[in-house]
Chains A and B, each alone.
Chain A
Amino acid sequence: DADVTQTPRNRITKTGKRIMLECSQTKGHDRMYWYRQDPGLGLRLIYYSFDVKDINKGEISDGYSVSRQAQAKFSLSLESAIPNQTALYFCATSGGWEETQYFGPGTRLLVL
C-alpha cells in the first residue's frame, strides 16, 4: 500500500550493529504498529503507538525500541542486532473509528 512506506526494503547487517527501520504514512492515522513475521509463526506485535506521546510494548519488545517522531512517522530500532532478529518487519497503521490495519510493504532484515 503506497500510503504506508517502509525504508529500507532490504537490509543486511552484522551482529552487534545498531540499525533503524523507518515507517511513514500519508493516511493521517493516529495509530501505528510494528510487527515481525517469522516463517510458521505469523505476525507478532513488537510495539504500538496510539499518538505521538503514547508508546506501548507489544508481545515481543525485548531487544527493540521505537520512536514516534511525528504522527506520520514511527521508527523501530535494534540497538544491538542479533541473528534471531532476522525476520520480515512490517509497519501498520489504523485510525479513527476504523479498526482495519493498513500495512507497509515490509523490510526484510538479515543479521549475520
Chain B
Amino acid sequence: SQQGEEDPQALSIQEGENATMNCSYKTSINNLQWYRQNSGRGLVHLILIRSNEREKHSGRLRVTLDTSKKSSSLLITASRAADTASYFCATDGSTGNQFYFGTGTSLTVIP
C-alpha cells in the first residue's frame, strides 16, 4: 500500500493554541495536499504544496514539505473550536494518476 500515515492519530488542545500534525508517505510525489473532514462528512481541500516547494501558507495554515524525508507537516495557528475535525494528507503517488490518503489526525480544540 502507498497509503501515508499521519501523526499523531489524535490531538487535543485548548483554543488559541497551535496544532501541528505530521504526514509521512512512501513514494516520490508531484504534490501533497491536506484535507479536512468534519465528522462523517465529505473531505474539504485545505492546501496543496508541490514537490519543489518547501513551505506554503494559507490564512492560519502553514504547510511544510521535506521530500528527502518524505514527510510534511500542517500547522494550524491560533486554533478555534471550529477547527475540530480530522485532517488527512494526500499524495499523488509516483504516477500522478491516483491519490493516496493518510490515516488521519483527529483534532479536538477545547473552547
Contacts and interface: CB of A to CB of B under 8 A. Distances in A.
A96 interface: no
Interface in B4-34: 31, 33
Interface SS of A by simple majority: strand
Given A33-B99, A41-B103, A42-B101, A105 B42 contact: yes
Contacts of B42: 1, 4, 90, 103-106
Contact of B45 (A42, A44, A102, A104): A102
Contact of B43 (A40, A58, A59, A90): A90
A50 to B, nearest CB: 8
B110 interface: no
Contacts of B2: 59
Interface residues on A, range: 20 to 34
A99 B103 CA distance: 20
Contacts of A44: 3, 101
Interface string B67-111: 000000000000000000000101010000111111110000000
Interface SS of B by simple majority: loop
B1 interface: yes
Interface in A70-98: 88, 90, 92
Given A56-B97, A99-B31, A100-B33, A40 B44 contact: no
Contacts of B97: 48, 50, 56
Contacts of B60: none
